[in-house]
């Protein structure tokens, strides 16, 4: 038994090291900062129709038959979205919609991951930092297939409206189990689903397109109100070209083929319009105006060249910062750089039909806009730092920390979650920065500030 355990530990260590040195993933010193150029976007969408589509729409394509799901539903109405019809009784993270063959099905929607709680209220567009993907979803994938298979014939419409989702759920379930609470494996989900789609017409295929690493890397979830300033999507700036196609990516979990994808993606012009109007929640507490004004000067001297300027003279430079310069955990950028998903995406329907989107991987991270930064703790792409104050003073960053999991447990002085530094990573919402991909190192740009300058910058950031 002990031998097996030791073997398991050693092979895990070897495996983890292997990811740090993926072929061709050495830190590239040839560039420090790359400006990200804009791409043409579609205009004229309707923001209200965009939100409507996000909460009622059929963009996931297939799902669990509603008749089957209904029995397991609560009869409590949802108080967040207050939707009409069957959707009134479904949680805000799921939608009842009609599959292409006319059967009503249920599936998750974008707000499973892109709505977060603050002071007990759900904020649409804030990343959900309280998801927990540590349990394997493999048994659920099996049970769901079994349950639906027992109730409906394999040639029934219900089974057909379920089958695509079921196939992709089964393929991705083994790849999205993470070792960190709060971390979101969306990239792996997309990677696993695309792995079983024909690139040209997006139909299901059993044989994989590429090899996937064993280790499940996951990230924080970025707030959606920054999309309007960005020329490239995702932490590493990999998402280029037309945003409607990029946003639509979550649909690889269930959309049957490129014909259904084409119809859904047309509706994403409205979704993009909704995002262009989305604003961060204003800081709810008092702000010391004088201190904030001092902070603005410090910010403009030390931070704005990467993060832009705010207020009456807004600017955002859209810069990608190399791993060598930002020095934050390189694993996510390295991982995406080497993933088979890049070649797949760039030879697929997404890249080969108009409007075109494509992946451009780089070994670096985007310096994001900081609008509403007070609301979107924890910080960095991997969520390794609990507060802005700790982000600006690397000596204060805890190796192991935990939060209560309550959305009102917010620290207004340090901006972020109240946290307890731990000796060992224990408890439901513990964060372990020693795990591969979750280091709290790097972004040392606040270290050279004095205590006074730092607290002034924190005060200023409350106003963005
Ligand atoms: C399973 C959780 C999950 C679901 C479902 C999901 N997302 Fe995301 N989304 C993420 C994560 C995690 C990221 C960050 C990935 C990265 O940047 O590398 C992300 C990134 C994004 C970004 C890029 C933001 C930025 O600043 O670069 C946009 C836009 C986005 N998602 C929109 C959507 C839309 C629209 C949907 C529904 C069609 C959706 N997402 C569904 C988890 C999810
Ligand atoms: C050389 C460019 C650069 C400079 C200068 C810089 N930053 Fe950053 N900043 C980045 C990058 C890149 C990231 C994303 C790193 C990551 O996620 O791994 C980041 C992330 C952040 C974040 C976390 C964002 C989030 O959503 O998690 C905050 C807050 C921040 N920076 C504040 C500042 C402040 C305040 C200053 C000035 C003291 C500053 N930065 C200076 C490049 C820079």
What is the residue whose two structure tokens read 């924080």?
220
pLDDT in tens, 212-263: 999 999 999 999 999 999 999 999 999 999 999 999 888 999 999 999 999 9
pLDDT in tens, 423-448: 999 989 999 999 999 999 999 999 99
Cα–Cα distance measured from residue 115 to residue 458, given in angstroms and rounded to the nearest whole number: 25
Q: Which of residues 204 and 22 earns the better pLDDT score? A: 204
What is the residue whose two structure tokens read 């932490």?
235
Contact 260, 251 (CB under 8 A): no
pLDDT in tens, 271-323: 999 999 999 999 999 999 999 999 999 999 999 999 999 998 899 999 999 99
pLDDT in tens, 39-86: 999 999 999 999 999 999 999 999 999 999 988 777 889 999 999 999
For residue 4, the model assigns a pLDDT of 42
pLDDT in tens, 110-154: 999 999 999 999 999 999 999 999 999 999 999 999 999 999 999
Residues contacting residue 317 through CB under 8 Å, at least 6 positions apart? 35, 305, 306, 308, 367
Contact 196, 205 (CB under 8 A): yes
- Band (pLDDT 50/70/90 cuts) for residue 26 is low
- Band (pLDDT 50/70/90 cuts) for residue 454 is very high
As for ligand 1, residues whose beta carbon falls within 6 Å of it are 59, 108, 110, 112-114, 184, 186-187, 189, 219, 221-222, 224, 226-227, 230, 233-235, 247, 250, 271
What is the number of the ligand 2 atom nearest to the C-alpha of 326?
12
Instruction: Specify the residue with its C-alpha closest to ligand 1, atom 37.
Output: 110
Cα–Cα distance measured from residue 306 to residue 44, given in angstroms and rounded to the nearest whole number: 30
- Band (pLDDT 50/70/90 cuts) for residue 18 is very low
Cα–Cα distance measured from residue 340 to residue 212, given in angstroms and rounded to the nearest whole number: 7
Ligand nearest the Cα of residue 225 is 1
- CA 438 from chain centre, in angstroms, equals 15
Cα–Cα distance measured from residue 292 to residue 461, given in angstroms and rounded to the nearest whole number: 8
Residues contacting residue 347 through CB under 8 Å, at least 6 positions apart? 199
User: For all residues of the chain together, what is the average pLDDT?
Assistant: 92
Neighbours of 407 (CB within 10 A): 18
Cα–Cα distance measured from residue 226 to residue 124, given in angstroms and rounded to the nearest whole number: 13
What is the residue whose two structure tokens read 């609301």?
375
As for ligand 2, residues whose beta carbon falls within 6 Å of it are 235, 302-303, 305-307, 321, 325-326, 328, 365, 367-368, 370, 373, 376, 379-381, 388, 391-392, 443, 445-446, 457
Cα–Cα distance measured from residue 160 to residue 252, given in angstroms and rounded to the nearest whole number: 17
Contact 369, 307 (CB under 8 A): yes
Quote the tokens at residue 214: 């064993």
Torsional sign, CA 97, 99, 103, 105: negative
Question: Phi-psi region for residue 105, left (φ > 0), alpha (ψ -120 to 50) or beta?
Answer: beta
Q: How far does residue 246's CA lie from ligand 1's centre (Å)? A: 9
Average of per-residue pLDDT across 446-462:
98
What is the number of the ligand 2 atom nearest to the C-alpha of 329?
18
Long-range pairs, 422-425, Cβ under 8 A, ≥24: 422/398, 424/400, 425/400
For residue 73, the model assigns a pLDDT of 78
**Does residue 3 carry a pLDDT above 50?**
no
Cα–Cα distance measured from residue 235 to residue 367, given in angstroms and rounded to the nearest whole number: 8
Quote the tokens at residue 378: 């924890």
Cα–Cα distance measured from residue 150 to residue 53, given in angstroms and rounded to the nearest whole number: 32
Cα–Cα distance measured from residue 191 to residue 168, given in angstroms and rounded to the nearest whole number: 11
For residue 45, the model assigns a pLDDT of 96
Calculate the alpha carbon distances from 204 to 77, 111, 193 in Å.
36, 25, 9
Torsional sign, CA 357, 362, 367, 368: positive
Cα–Cα distance measured from residue 377 to residue 375, given in angstroms and rounded to the nearest whole number: 6
Ligand nearest the Cα of residue 255 is 1
Output the CA angle 264-270-273, nearest 5 degrees. 145
Q: How far does residue 106's CA lie from ligand 2's centre (Å)? A: 39
Quote the tokens at residue 179: 């070792």
Cα–Cα distance measured from residue 106 to residue 94, given in angstroms and rounded to the nearest whole number: 7
For residue 23, the model assigns a pLDDT of 40
- Band (pLDDT 50/70/90 cuts) for residue 29 is low
Cα–Cα distance measured from residue 108 to residue 101, given in angstroms and rounded to the nearest whole number: 19
Ligand nearest the Cα of residue 220 is 1
Cα–Cα distance measured from residue 351 to residue 365, given in angstroms and rounded to the nearest whole number: 23
Closest to 317 in 3D by CA, of 425, 230, 422: 230
Peptide bond into 335 cis (omega under 30): no
């Amino acid at each position: 038994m002990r031998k097996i355990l030791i073997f398991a530990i050693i092979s895990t260590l070897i495996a983890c090291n292997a990811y740090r040195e993926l072929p061709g993933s050495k830190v590239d010193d040839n560039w420090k900062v790359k400006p990200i150029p804009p791409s043409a976007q579609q205009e004229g969408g309707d923001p209200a129709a965009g939100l409507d589509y996000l909460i009622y729409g059929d963009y996931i394509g297939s799902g669990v038959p509603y008749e089957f799901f209904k029995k397991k539903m609560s009869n409590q109405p949802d108080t967040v979205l207050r939707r009409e019809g069957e959707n009134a009784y479904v949680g805000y993270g799921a939608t009842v919609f009609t599959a292409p063959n006319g059967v009503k099905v249920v599936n998750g929607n974008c707000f499973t991951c892109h709505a977060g709680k603050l002071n007990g209220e759900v904020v649409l567009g804030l990343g959900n930092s309280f998801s927990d993907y540590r349990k394997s979803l493999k048994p659920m994938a099996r049970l769901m297939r079994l349950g639906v298979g027992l109730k409906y014939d394999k040639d029934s419409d219900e089974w057909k409206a379920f089958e695509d989702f079921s196939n992709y759920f089964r393929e991705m379930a083994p790849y999205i189990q993470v070792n960190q609470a709060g971390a979101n494996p969306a990239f792996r989900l997309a990677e696993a689903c695309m792995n079983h789609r024909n690139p040209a017409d997006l139909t299901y295929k059993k044989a994989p397109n590429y090899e996937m690493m064993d280790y499940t890397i996951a990230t924080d979830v970025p707030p959606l109100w920054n999309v309007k300033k960005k020329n490239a999507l995702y932490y590493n700036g990999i998402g280029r070209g037309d945003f409607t196609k990029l946003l639509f990516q979550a649909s690889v979990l269930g959309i049957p083929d490129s014909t259904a994808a084409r119809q859904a993606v047309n509706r994403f012009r409205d979704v993009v319009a909704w995002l262009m109007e989305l604003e961060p929640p204003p800081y709810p507490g008092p702000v010391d105006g004088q201190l904030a004004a001092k902070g603005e000067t410090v910010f403009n001297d030390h931070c704005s060249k990467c993060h832009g300027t705010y207020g009456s003279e807004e600017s955002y430079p859209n810069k990608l910062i190399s791993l060598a310069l930002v020095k934050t955990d390189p694993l996510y950028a390295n991982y995406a750089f080497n993933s088979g998903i890049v070649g797949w995406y760039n030879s697929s329907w997404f890249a080969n039909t108009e409007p075109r989107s494509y992946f451009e991987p780089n070994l670096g991270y985007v310096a994001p806009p900081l609008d509403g930064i007070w609301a979107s703790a924890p910080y960095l792409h991997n969520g390794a730092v609990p507060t802005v104050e700790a982000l600006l003073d690397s000596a204060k960053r805890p190796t192991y920390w935990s939060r209560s999991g309550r959305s009102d447990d917010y620290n207004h002085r340090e901006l972020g979650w109240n946290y307890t530094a731990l000796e060992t990573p224990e408890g439901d919402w513990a964060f372990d920065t020693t795990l591969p991909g979750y280091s709290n190192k790097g972004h040392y740009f606040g270290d050279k500030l004095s205590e006074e300058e730092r607290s002034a910058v924190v005060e200023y950031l409350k106003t963005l």
